[in-house]
């Protein structure tokens, strides 16, 4: 499948959120990536339901909601109601991950699992057939604009290999430090969904940058 681009609204201008959402609507982007941080699972707080509800009113593309929060089960139904299409929880935040995945599916969303940089992809082995998306963090979650961790490439290769056996349609998403300089290598390693925050919103022409990211060919 052609890779997808998911600009992260964490890097948008919150005082002009409608403008930035409309820019993404008009661009070649595929999804909105929505980073929710609780100040407990990660050392930062981003935004919650009031902002997501307001953003959803203007957005014309699916919401890919990345929950960097503890005990996500408590809020899954409310994120679905707020307009999430994909809900991704962190492996490290879920004691009963299988139950959480079933809960996400029961509210009509696609289910994703995110891995911190130190978490091996092999930990997904027994859940891989049950999920729609695996998100490989290529920075420590919490902040936009960080530097890509190179070991991510090996993790993506291993995940791609695992998924080809049991879940060939899996979305393999990479998040953190993604930009025009590394997308080709990441496609080649197996990623098919690219989150981009800083790369898009710090670009002189964000719409053009989204088009450039979308049109990268694997090496």
Site string for ligand DX5, 34-63 (x = CB under 6 A): -x----------------------------
Q: In what order do the strands lie in the sheet with 193-196?
A: 4-7, 193-196, 171-175, 133-137, 110-115, 86-90, 63-68, 32-37
- Using CB positions, name the residue nearest to ligand DX5: 197
Residue ranges of the binding site for substrate: 8, 66, 142-145, 175-177
Residue 176 interface partner, choices Zn ion, ligand DX5, none, CB cut-off 5-8 Å depending on type: ligand DX5
Q: Judge contact between 88 and 133, C-beta under 8 A.
A: yes
CB of 8 to ligand DX5, least distance (A): 4
Residue 197 makes contact with ligand DX5 by CB under 6 A? yes
Under rule CB under 5 A, how many of the chain's residues touch Zn ion? 3
Please tell me the distance from the alpha carbon of residue 178 to that of residue 181, in angstroms, as a whole number: 8
Query: Minimum CB separation from Zn ion for residue 165, in Å?
Result: 27
**What φ, ψ does residue 6 adopt, rounded to 5°?**
-125, 90
Question: In Å, how far are 10, 25, 49, 80, 177 from 200, measured between CA atoms?
Answer: 11, 14, 24, 26, 11
- Long-range (24+ apart) CB contacts under 8 A made by 103-108 are 103/73, 103/76, 104/76, 104/80, 107/76, 107/77, 107/80, 108/80
For tokens 């993404």, the residue is 24
Nearer to ligand DX5, 144 or 206 (CB): 144
For residues 65 and 84, is the Cβ–Cβ distance under 8 A?
Answer: yes
Q: Does 66 help bind Zn ion (rule: CB under 5 A)?
A: yes
Out of 20, 24, 66, 162, the residue judged to bind ligand DX5 by CB under 6 A: 66
Binding residues for a divalent metal cation: 33, 35, 66, 175
Between the CA atoms of 141, 143, 148 and 154, what dihedral angle is there, to the nearest 10 degrees?
10
Give catalytic residue positions. 35, 175
By CB under 6 A, is residue 141 in contact with ligand DX5? yes
The 76-115 contact track toward ligand DX5, x by CB under 6 A, reads ----------------------------------------
Note the residues at the interface with ligand DX5 (CB under 6 A).
Answer: 8, 10-11, 33, 35, 66, 139, 141-146, 175-178, 195-199
């Amino acid at each position: 499948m052609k890779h997808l681009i998911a600009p992260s609204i964490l890097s948008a201008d919150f005082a002009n959120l409608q403008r930035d959402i409309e820019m993404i609507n008009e661009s070649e982007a595929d999804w909105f990536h929505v980073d929710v941080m609780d100040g407990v699972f990660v050392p930062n707080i981003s935004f919650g339901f009031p902002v997501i509800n307001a953003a959803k009113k203007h957005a014309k593309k699916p919401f890919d909601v990345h929950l960097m929060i503890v005990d996500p089960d408590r809020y899954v139904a409310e994120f679905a109601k707020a307009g999430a299409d994909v809900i991704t929880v962190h492996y490290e935040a879920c004691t009963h991950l299988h139950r959480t995945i079933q809960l996400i599916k029961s509210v009509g969303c696609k289910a994703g699992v995110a891995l911190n940089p130190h978490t091996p992809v092999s930990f997904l082995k027994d859940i891989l057939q049950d999920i729609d998306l695996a998100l490989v963090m290529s920075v420590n979650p919490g902040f936009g604009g960080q530097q890509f961790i190179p070991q991510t490439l090996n993790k993506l290769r291993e995940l791609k290999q695992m998924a080809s056996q049991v879940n060939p349609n899996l979305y393999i998403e990479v998040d953190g430090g993604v930009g025009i300089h590394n997308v080709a290598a990441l496609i080649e390693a197996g990623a098919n969904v690219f989150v981009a925050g800083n790369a898009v919103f710090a670009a002189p022409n964000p719409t053009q940058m989204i088009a450039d990211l979308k049109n990268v060919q694997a090496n």
